[in-house]
Structure 1
Amino acid sequence: PQASPPTLPEEEHGERLVELHASFRELVTFFCTNSTIHGTIRLVCSSQNRLKTASWGLLLAGALGVLYWQFALLFEQYWRYPVIMTVSVHSERKLFPSVTLCDMNPHRPHLARHHLRVLDDFARESIYSLYRFNFSDSMDALGAEVPGPEPAFHLDRRIRLQRLRPLDGQNRVGFKLCNSTGGDCVERAYSSGVVAAREWYRFHYINILALLPAAHEDSHDSHFVFSCRYDDRDCHAQHFQTSHHPTYGSCYTFNGVWAAQRPGVTHRISLVLRAEQLDHLPLLSTKAGIKVMIHPQDHTPFLEHQGFSIRPGTETTIDIREDEVHRLGSPYGQCMDSTGSVDVQLLYNTSYTRQACLVSCFQHLMVETCSCGYFFYPLPAGAEYCSYMRHPAWGHCFHHLYQKLKTHQLPCTTRCPRPCRESSYKLSAGTSRWPSSTSADWVLAVLGEPSRRNPWPSSASINLAKVNIFYQELNYRTVDETPVYSVPQLLSAMGSLWSLWFGSSVLSVVEVLELLLDAIALTLLLCCRWLCGSRGQPRAATRVHPPSQRPASGPVAADTTSNAPGPGCL
């Protein structure tokens, strides 16, 4: 009788811990049959119809291509790190902001009165030569000169006020600033003669002040602030900080630590101020009034950028609304937080602001490029202020450097980011005549102002001004930068696209990863078999089994092999 074929042991019929398919065709067939991805089973069930198989293959390949194209667009937008602005409204008690007030009466320093008298004579000659007007009788008295040592100064008469070449048919007035050799000159030209005269006088004026010692006396008018009350309480001297501005004169900064309890004009700070023009410089200050700036506490006020003027003889009511801006840092943008640092040594002992950083950066570049510092800004350690007595060509150097700053050619813009948290104030003001014509006499008498002969004094003849500042509402807006795509939103968008094109879930992605791992493992196993077979002994001729004796196709266990190769193989 014919012997029956040997049977495999019972343990060989059981499942192995890790099994691999015998071929790539079998691997793909198994994946398409059991995958949860829509459309893959159509590649198997329609295998007898090659047209359908090819059509579904193209559809799946096209859907996969469109999916990854949309993924690329999504990641391209994500890596741009776009932000949107969200606005929210909050309500809480706020500290009253700082208020800086200047009398717009630049002083004549005692140590420079003689040099300023020489400059005034030079200005009188220049204006008379241009406009045939002599304002010697209209100038205020210079006052008696105080004896004492004056810095050596020689007025550079080569820098004179003159008519320049017309441009586009428009007459221009200005002055020229040349380099040390005189071969290269820049023109500071203005269409307005008033502006030209003021800028020309200001240039000579700061050259004189730059020679004064750092501790020279700056007189402050003790009668500038007549009265100050906040929320029915009197202000005291410790609530004010005094400073001096070369152009705006004596300045007072109100730094009260009071919190605004309630909004409205009844909870305000009210000040009565004197806008006097005694001992002033008529060519340097052409306006009479008070310079005001409202800014956050512990911030440096830059009056030339954000200040506004108040007219004498009026009562000005200013209401405040506060906005806060919260910016995102890297990678969504560049901003300066409270714990960060910038690549600029700040010259102000106050909180960080972008304007203070830009000024500090420009002053450092000014010292490096022109060997001296601009008089309106603080000095770095070891530097000195510019004056054509010590640096004859500093004006030419300053003009070129300042033009580069305005055209963003200096690195200061990138070195000085905006603060991550910034407060700003929106102001609205209303004015009325004060004191009125019927109450002017007794108001001026009570405040100690000299009596007026005119029973109906005009606002132009009154040197007083009243200012009321209050919160319009304690509600403040917060503007927050929010990412357009955060990581959860990015994953959600990717999942939506994957479901749109393949109708599957995260587990379907795991199935694809499993297919790739199986393919890699099968590739390594086949390569290992091929290498071991080529290194082993020559194989003996193998007998081909008839079809009836061939083993059934199915998964091959990873720890079993057919046609075992030579020693050292898996």
Structure 2
Amino acid sequence: AREEEEKKEGLIEFYDSFKDMFEFFCKNTTIHGTIRLVCSDSNRMKTAFWTLLLLASFGMLYWQFALMFSQYWAYPVVLTMSMHSEPKMFPAITICNLDPYRFELVSEHLVQLDRMAEESITFLYGINTSASLLHVNEKSIHVKDLSNIGNLSRSSFKLSQNFSLVRMSDRSNRSEKMHSETVGFRLCNATGGNCFYKTYSTGMDAILEWYRFHYMNIMSQLPVIINISDHEEQIEDMVYSCQYDGEPCRPSDYVHFHHPVFGSCYTFNSKGTDSFWTATKPGIPYGLSLILRAEQKDHIPLLSTVAGVKVMIHNHNQTPFLEHEGFDIRPGIATTIGIQQDEVNRLGGNYGKCTTDGSDVNVKLLYNNSYTLQACMHSWFQHIMVRKCGCGYYYYPLPPGAEYCDYNKQPAWGHCFYQLYNRLRNHHLNCFDQCPKPCRESLYKVSVGTAKWPSAKSQDWIRQALRHQNGYNSTSNRRDIAKVTIFYQQLNYQAVNESPLLSENLLLSSMGSQWSLWFGSSVLSVVEMFELLIDTLVLSLLFCYQRFRAKKTLKVAHTPTVPS
């Protein structure tokens, strides 16, 4: 009896058969339903029923496991929205006067271009626009220290006559009632073949694009690096009054730069590090209030047809792309712009493609500010432009060693550029694959209100005050000044965060719930299953070894003895 008790309490148990092992497991396991396989062994119908039921439960369990793992490996996300309220930094504000510099080096070519534009408009529509287009007597900006830049003589560049504007019938509309004309100019490759017309449905759009095309070729004659500080305008020439939170703006609050289309620009609070720009209260009195010069007499009429000032609200240390996100302030109007901030946080990694600071992006940024989607896409397009067309697009920075496009040097660059641009618009350049979104970014929603300013009753004394303080000498009625106020509507902001829909903890919890649903057991039951598998493997090896020994013994026993 003592030997039998020691046998039952042994650390390692060896069963006489698989049946004994299976009966022991069914009687002692914590998995529900298995004991029915043993208790009903005298009734084969019940045994078969419970066997099928357990197998079906196992099948449903692992089917659910497969669904959960397929969902987990799809890496879905869920958006959670939360509201926060705290003092925060005022955004960066960029304003431009829509009056680009007429550099002395290219001023004669710009005058020639104005004459060509006048002739083209006369040819197309039979109207004379010389009084409004020509700007022969305008002051030009002189670029200093050009002796080390090379041969930049004015006679080396000639405006091309190969891109004349023409009117064409739109053959796509076969109906006589829908008959229309298009206006455009012809572009060909380097061999003079594969030509196409860059056409527009309205002559206005065609003339503007034709003018910009020639304008880029003219401006490419300028040196790549120009010291704007040599001829930098004073901010008082554009901004008559500047106040933030009731305090006058300081010289350190803005930086100046020049844009080839939007002219002289100023960015307020560009770095976002000065506590002066911390917003502690919402409302119009606590925002940025500007009175701006919005004169039109110096505008290049075919480069910008908008009267007023260009304004853009953006994040700190970011390049403002006014052609995409800027909006216009009308002269003679007081514009109030209320802003509401949203913050977006993306997961990245397996859950989506995004970048923290752009260091892991394959595109080399051509802008010196922080990473943005627009900066990456413009840089990617410029790299492709230089590689495919042999020169760079004038409105974007250049990669090292490249030069801006000039149809005197690269006659077919326009043909190459417009084909690339069409591919960009049709999403064939894989820009979004190369340029992921930032993992964290702030977005600004704006609401705008306008009113005439100054009013008829107050315009006289306001003009006198501006004339006395800023040398304001205009006599027009509200056509050369504008007022804009930018403020936080409220300091609370909405944060949109991505989080995994099925994390590791939630996956394990769901698996445990499914296991409990189908078998009413726990993690220890899973250990019992592994123990059963190990016992089955050990018992199989033991039986195989016993059979091998038995065959070997039997073979030795039947070996005939050799008589001596």
Pair in the same fold by TM > 0.5: yes
1:199 aligns with 2:219: no
1:127 aligns with 2:121: yes
Q: Distance in 2 between matches of 1:224 and 1:60?
A: 83
Q: Distance in 2 between matches of 1:145 and 1:471?
A: 40
Q: Distance in 2 between matches of 1:515 and 1:186?
A: 77
Q: Could you tell me which of 184, 192, 202 is aligned with 1:182?
A: 192
Indicate the larger mover: 432-441 or 228-237.
Answer: 228-237
Which structure is larger by alpha-carbon Rg, 1 or 2?
A: 1
Tell me what 1:319 maps to.
338
Tell me what 1:248 maps to.
262
Tell me what 2:24 maps to.
30
Contact 1:247-1:285 at 8 Å conserved across structures: yes
Amino acid at match of 2:332: G
Tell me what 2:427 maps to.
408
Classify 1:428/1:302 alpha carbon distance in 2 versus 1 (closer, same or farther; 3 Å): same
Contact 1:140-1:280 at 8 Å conserved across structures: no
Contact 1:161-1:173 at 8 Å conserved across structures: yes
Classify 1:366/1:536 alpha carbon distance in 2 versus 1 (closer, same or farther; 3 Å): farther
Tell me what 2:504 maps to.
487
Contact 1:108-1:280 at 8 Å conserved across structures: no
Q: Distance in 1 between matches of 2:129 and 2:549?
A: 110
Deviation of 1:129 (Å): 1.0
SS of the equivalent of 2:418 reads: helix
Deviation of 1:106 (Å): 2.7
Give 5+ residue unaligned stretches, structure 2.
144-152, 174-178, 559-564
Amino acid at match of 1:83: V
Deviation of 1:71 (Å): 1.1
Mapping for residues 10-49 of structure 1, pairs under 5 Å: 13=7, 15-49=9-43
Amino acid at match of 1:533: A
Amino acid at match of 1:237: P
Q: Distance in 1 between matches of 2:77 and 2:458?
A: 57
Classify 1:19/1:389 alpha carbon distance in 2 versus 1 (closer, same or farther; 3 Å): same
Contact 2:111-2:134 at 8 Å conserved across structures: no
SS of the equivalent of 2:167 reads: strand
Q: Distance in 1 between matches of 2:393 and 2:138?
A: 30
1:530 aligns with 2:547: yes
Contact 2:188-2:196 at 8 Å conserved across structures: yes
Deviation of 1:14 (Å): 6.4
Q: Could you tell me which of 375, 400, 409 is aligned with 1:390?
A: 409
Classify 1:76/1:231 alpha carbon distance in 2 versus 1 (closer, same or farther; 3 Å): same
Q: Distance in 2 between matches of 1:16 and 1:531?
A: 26
Q: Distance in 2 between matches of 1:405 and 1:324?
A: 28
Contact 1:140-1:279 at 8 Å conserved across structures: no
Tell me what 2:159 maps to.
155
Tell me what 1:208 maps to.
218
Give 5+ residue unaligned stretches, structure 1.
1-6, 542-570
1:74 aligns with 2:88: no
Deviations 1:124-171 (A, max 9, x none): 111111100110123353216869942621111111111134032332
1:113 aligns with 2:107: yes
Mapping for residues 291-440 of structure 1, pairs under 5 Å: 291-338=310-357, 340-440=359-459
Tell me what 2:473 maps to.
450
- Pick the structure with more helix per residue: 2
1:172 aligns with 2:182: yes
Equivalences, count: 529
1:93 aligns with 2:87: yes
Contact 2:114-2:134 at 8 Å conserved across structures: no
Amino acid at match of 2:119: E
Contact 1:336-1:418 at 8 Å conserved across structures: yes
Deviation of 1:458 (Å): 4.6
Tell me what 1:283 maps to.
302
For the aligned residues, what is the CA RMSD? 2.1
Deviation of 1:403 (Å): 1.9
Deviation of 1:326 (Å): 0.6
Q: Distance in 1 between matches of 2:425 and 2:285?
A: 43
Contact 1:107-1:280 at 8 Å conserved across structures: no
Classify 1:443/1:458 alpha carbon distance in 2 versus 1 (closer, same or farther; 3 Å): same
1:502 aligns with 2:496: no
Q: Distance in 1 between matches of 2:442 and 2:21?
A: 64
Q: Distance in 1 between matches of 2:406 and 2:527?
A: 75
Deviation of 1:10 (Å): 8.2
